[in-house]
């Protein structure tokens, strides 16, 4: 543990992160978490470890841990989320319609889900090492009204989408569907589901839409800090069942996350860095599906 910390300080680029970190949440950086007790670090880095002991023995754990990078790989990914003069992270532009969306060559990932599910909060947590990048969140559903594009240097773009369902913008479908169908550089869609309430009717419609589009997408279970563990487990099992029986383009591993506590943020940073072809993993993925990068999609 100690030697890892030492190596971190010797890591090139660490300086840049330190400056941004002064203002950021103390858990925003993986470098701070390695000093925590092992169990706490484990649940921050691999949140599935929080629910795993409560799963029935008959349940296969493999699908929950297909993407299970090393701490070194997560550190490599984290560097991408630190802004520097040669690697600028910024809010770029907002678009109300697909034909207003900027043409970009970098691989892109987008976040969709019901209004209030925590899309903007998740992006804010991803960018917490660069607090000067403003991502607006609100407890009022329907807050994000446009597609907001954030550039991560020359590596990739992250798009925050308006939510569907309650108080969704009227033009939600006209805005988001054409984007999901035709955006050329889109390498992955992240479909967020609230872990404290589970799959809702609107989520099932979104799932169906993603299946129709037939582009790779990934489920993210948000707000795992909220509600009881029993409720989370039952919602997770239901979701896994839906993914198994009703999907063919969905990555079998759901990403468990709390933007509030930073659980799962490091893992997701690493996954994004991997699928956009921005890092090479030292530990090869165990499943060919998620081994696909921006270059071979
Ligand atoms: N407990 C808890 N609350 C969260 C989490 N993520 C987001 N929230 C809260 O959920 C509310 C909605 O968050 P947003 O990130 O604005 O949700 P959104 O999906 O972007 O919503 P729209 O822009 O309206 O579509 C805010 O009050 C957040 O503080 C989480 O991981 N845990
Ligand atoms: Mg939002």
Atom in ligand 1 nearest the alpha carbon of residue 144: 23
Ligand that comes closest to the CA of residue 194: 1
pLDDT given for residue 20 in this prediction: 38
Helix boundaries (H) for 85-171: 119-126
Distance 114 CA to ligand 2 centre (A): 9
**pLDDT value at position 35?**
77
Q: Looking at the CA of 167, which ligand is closest?
A: 1
The whole-angstrom separation of Cα 12 and Cα 280 is: 17
- The DSSP H or E segment spanning 151 is strand 147-152
- Test site for ligand 1: of 117, 122, 136, 137, most ligand atoms within 8 A of the Cβ: 137
**Alpha carbon of 122 to ligand 1 centroid (Å):** 8
Residue 12 CA to ligand 1 centre (angstroms): 34
Residue whose token pair is 């691999």: 46
* Residue whose token pair is 């991408």: 80
Q: Which residue puts its alpha carbon closest to atom 12 of ligand 1?
A: 116
C-alpha 180/C-alpha 208 separation (Å) is 13
Task: Give exposure, 33-46, as e/b (b: 16+ Cβ within 10 Å).
Answer: bbeeeeeebebbbb
Q: What is the mean pLDDT of the chain?
A: 86
Per the CB < 8 A criterion, the answer to whether 220 and 192 are in contact is yes
Write out residues with Cβ below 6 Å of ligand 1. 113, 115-121, 137-139, 141-144, 162-163, 222-223, 225-226, 258-260
Distance of alpha carbon 26 from its chain centroid, rounded? Answer: 19
Ligand nearest to the CA of 139: 1
pLDDT tens for 38-95 read 888 998 999 999 999 999 889 889 999 999 999 999 999 999 999 999 999 999 999 9
For residue 45, how far is its CA from the centre of ligand 2 (angstroms)?
24
CA of 141 to the centre of ligand 1 (A): 9
Match domain 70-291 to its CATH number in 3.20.20.70, 3.90.1300.10, 3.40.50.300, 3.40.50.1820: 3.40.50.300
| 202-208: long-range pairs with CB below 8 Å, 24+ | 202/114, 202/164, 202/165, 203/113, 203/114, 204/242, 205/164, 206/112, 206/113, 206/114, 206/164, 207/242, 207/246, 207/247, 207/250
> Could you report the per-residue pLDDT of 184-197, keeping only the tens digit for each?
999 999 999 999 99
Yes or no: say if 42 and 49 are a contact pair by the CB < 8 Å rule.
yes
Find out whether 30 and 80 touch, Cβ atoms under 8 Å: no
Instruction: Please state the pTM of the whole predicted model.
Output: 0.89
* Other Cβ atoms within 10 Å of 177 Cβ, number: 14
Q: What is the tens place of the pLDDT at every residue in 230-263? A: 999 999 999 999 999 999 999 999 999 999 999 9
pLDDT above 90 (res 162)? yes
User: Whose C-alpha lies nearest to ligand 1, atom 6?
Assistant: 118
- Kindly indicate whether the ipTM for this predicted assembly is greater than 0.90, answering yes or no: yes
Is 98 buried (19+), middle (13-18) or exposed (0-12) by CB count in 10 A? Answer: middle
| Ligand located closest to 169 CA | 1
Give the residue, out of 94, 127, 138, with the most ligand 1 atoms within 8 A of its beta carbon, to mutate for a pocket test. Answer: 138
Q: Of 4 and 78, which is predicted with more confidence?
A: 78
pLDDT tens for 112-158 read 999 999 999 999 999 999 989 999 999 988 888 899 999 999 999 99
For 94, residues 6+ apart whose C-beta sits below 8 A from its C-beta are: 146, 147, 148, 149
222 and 195 Cβ atoms separated by less than 8 Å: yes
- DSSP E strand stretches across 18-115: 89-95, 108-113
Distance 178 CA to ligand 2 centre (A): 19
The residue nearest atom 28 of ligand 1, judged by CA position, is: 139
Residues 198-238 have pLDDT tens digits of 999 999 999 999 999 999 999 999 999 998 999 999 999 99
The predicted structure's pLDDT at residue 37: 86
């Amino acid at each position: 543990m100690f030697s890892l910390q030492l190596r971190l300080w010797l890591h090139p680029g660490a300086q840049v992160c330190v400056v941004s970190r002064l203002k950021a949440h103390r858990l925003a950086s993986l470098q701070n978490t390695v000093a925590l007790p092992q169990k706490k670090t484990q649940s921050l880095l691999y949140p599935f470890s929080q629910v795993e002991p409560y799963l029935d023995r008959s349940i296969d754990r493999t699908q929950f841990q297909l993407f299970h990078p090393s701490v070194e790989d997560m550190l490599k990914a984290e560097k991408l989320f630190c802004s520097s003069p040669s690697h600028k992270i910024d809010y770029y532009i907002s678009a109300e319609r697909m034909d207003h969306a900027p043409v970009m060559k970098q691989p892109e990932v987008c976040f969709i889900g019901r209004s209030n599910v925590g899309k903007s909060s998740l992006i804010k947590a991803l960018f917490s090492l660069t607090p000067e990048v403003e991502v607006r969140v609100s407890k009022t559903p329907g807050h994000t009204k446009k597609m907001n594009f954030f550039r991560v240097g020359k590596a990739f773009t992250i798009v925050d989408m308006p939510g569907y369902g309650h108080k969704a913008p009227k033009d939600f479908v006209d805005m988001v569907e054409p984007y999901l169908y035709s955006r050329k550089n889109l390498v992955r869609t992240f479909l967020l589901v609230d872990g404290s309430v589970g799959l809702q009717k609107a989520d099932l419609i979104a799932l169906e839409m993603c299946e129709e589009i037939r582009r790779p997408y990934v489920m993210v279970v948000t707000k795992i800090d909220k509600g009881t563990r029993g409720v989370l487990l039952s919602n997770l099992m239901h979701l896994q069942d839906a993914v198994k029986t009703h999907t063919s383009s969905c990555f079998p591993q759901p990403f468990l996350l709390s933007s509030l506590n930073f659980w799962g943020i490091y893992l997701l940073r690493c996954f994004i860095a991997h699928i956009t072809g921005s890092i090479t993993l030292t530990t090869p993925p165990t499943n060919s599906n998620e081994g696909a990068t921006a270059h071979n999609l």
